[in-house]
């Protein structure tokens, strides 16, 4: 049954060790008491920010349905609230940054592997996990259709537009970003909401970690591009309304609709051109001074302490 409203809590806090994880149930209970039906945590909320270093450690990851997964499942069920979190999963030797969305009864609604991985100072993510290769699909939280993205995915709006075209009323994206880069993120998120005619929500890791100046606001923008929330408070709430999406899609540019068959043809041509370019580049001399990015044919180097 479709619901016309959904109240979402953006919880800007991380719980990377046993001591801090003990505070998670109370934080979710407080969000639920404030009226939240869905709580969104930052990117990899049960981990320290391990991509601060280019060295990956075996203990950073867990198998599917591992202990962090089970903890998120349990606290969602205990608080009676839907929960979006995530973990680094090692699935038969392949590591991914995986978002996990749980229903209020603790059942897993969907998972999504981060597609776009940065590789630069403070964000050596390609040294820690492989990029996902499956497009997200809308999922229903209490009858309200959402799409999940992760951090850098939000800076490539194509999948957000595809989610909206497939019926998502909102795109929700945990992130780990630097406070200084927030103006650029804000512009992209606002433009995506306006052009896709859907809500866009995001919450970040709240403070510097391991020398990386993480931080910035929680953010929610409406389907007409109006900023609804921009706050550095630990807990921020916003209520999403189906009627607002419907109204935006009757106005400009919402009523223009989507042309997936045209976009598909354009992207097929782009993929062909990129494959040709990549093949040509492979024949050139590799600059050994540049950091090598792991690929599906180059296993990640994981350190055991």
What string of pLDDT tens digits covers the 305 residues of the chain?
Answer: 578 999 999 999 999 999 999 999 999 999 999 999 999 999 999 999 999 999 999 999 999 999 999 999 999 999 999 999 999 999 999 999 999 999 999 999 999 999 999 999 999 999 999 999 999 999 999 999 999 999 999 999 999 999 999 999 999 999 999 999 999 999 999 999 999 999 999 999 999 999 999 999 999 999 999 999 999 999 999 999 999 999 999 999 999 989 999 999 999 999 999 999 988 888 775 555 555 555 544 568 787 66
Q: Are 224 and 244 in contact (CB under 8 A)?
A: yes
* Locus of tokens 């994981």: 302
Superfamily of domain 5-303: Carbon-nitrogen hydrolase (3.60.110.10)
Query: First and final CA of the chain: distance in angstroms?
Result: 50
Output the CA angle 173-121-66, nearest 5 degrees: 50
Report the distance separating Cα 32 and Cα 162, nearest Å.
31
Q: What number of CA atoms fall less than 13 Å from residue 269's CA on the CB side?
A: 6
Map out the domains of the chain as residue ranges.
5-303
pLDDT at residue 3 in the model? 86
Residues 106 and 82: their CA atoms lie apart, in Å, by 8
Q: What is the pLDDT of residue 299?
A: 67
Q: Which two tokens stand for residue 252?
A: 């400009």
User: What pLDDT sits at residue 292?
Assistant: 52
The CA R_g of the chain, rounded to the nearest whole Å, is: 19
The pLDDT of residue 226: 98
Instruction: Please indicate, yes or no, whether the overall pTM of this predicted structure exceeds 0.75.
Output: yes
Assigned token pair, 143 = 């009858």
Pair 9, 20: CB distance under 8 Å: no
Measure the CA–CA gap between 40 and 101, rounded to whole angstroms.
9
pLDDT at 283: 79
Q: What is the dihedral of CA 78, 98, 171, 146, to 10 degrees?
A: -50
| Contact call for residues 11 and 34 (beta carbons, < 8 A) | no
Helical residues (DSSP H) of 128-286, grouped into ranges: 158-165, 182-196, 242-250, 260-282
The pLDDT of residue 297 is 46
For residues 68 and 270, give the distance between their C-alpha atoms in angstroms, rounded to a whole number.
38
């Amino acid at each position: 049954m479709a619901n016309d409203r959904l109240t979402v809590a953006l919880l800007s806090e991380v719980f990377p060790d046993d001591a801090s994880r003990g505070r998670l149930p109370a934080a979710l209970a407080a969000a639920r008491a404030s009226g939240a039906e869905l709580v969104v945590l930052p990117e990899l909320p049960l981990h320290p920010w391990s991509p601060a270093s280019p060295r990956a450690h075996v203990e950073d990851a867990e198998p599917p349905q591992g202990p962090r997964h089970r903890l998120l499942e349990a606290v969602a069920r205990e608080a009676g609230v839907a929960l979006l979190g995530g973990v680094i999963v090692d699935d038969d030797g392949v590591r991914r940054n995986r978002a996990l969305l749980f229903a209020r009864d603790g059942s897993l609604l969907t998972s999504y592997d981060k597609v776009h991985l940065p590789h630069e100072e403070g964000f050596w993510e390609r040294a820690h996990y492989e990029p996902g290769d499956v497009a997200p699909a809308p999922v229903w939280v209490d009858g309200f259709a959402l799409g999940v993205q992760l951090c850098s995915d939000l800076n490539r709006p194509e999948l957000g537009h595809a989610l909206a075209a497939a019926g998502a009323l909102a795109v929700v994206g945990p992130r780990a970003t630097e406070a200084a880069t927030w103006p650029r993120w804000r512009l992209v998120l606002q433009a995506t909401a306006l052009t896709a005619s859907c809500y866009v929500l995001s919450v970040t890791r709240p403070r510097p970690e391991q020398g990386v100046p993480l931080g910035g606001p929680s953010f929610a923008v409406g389907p007409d591009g109006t900023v609804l929330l921009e706050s550095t408070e630990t807990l921020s709430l916003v209520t999403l309304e189906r009627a607002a999406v419907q109204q935006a899609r009757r106005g400009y540019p919402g009523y223009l609709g989507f042309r997936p068959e045209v976009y598909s043809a354009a992207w097929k041509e782009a993929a062909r051109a990129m494959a040709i370019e990549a093949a040509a580049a492979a024949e050139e001399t590799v600059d050994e001074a540049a950091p090598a990015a792991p690929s599906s044919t180059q296993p990640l180097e994981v350190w055991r302490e």
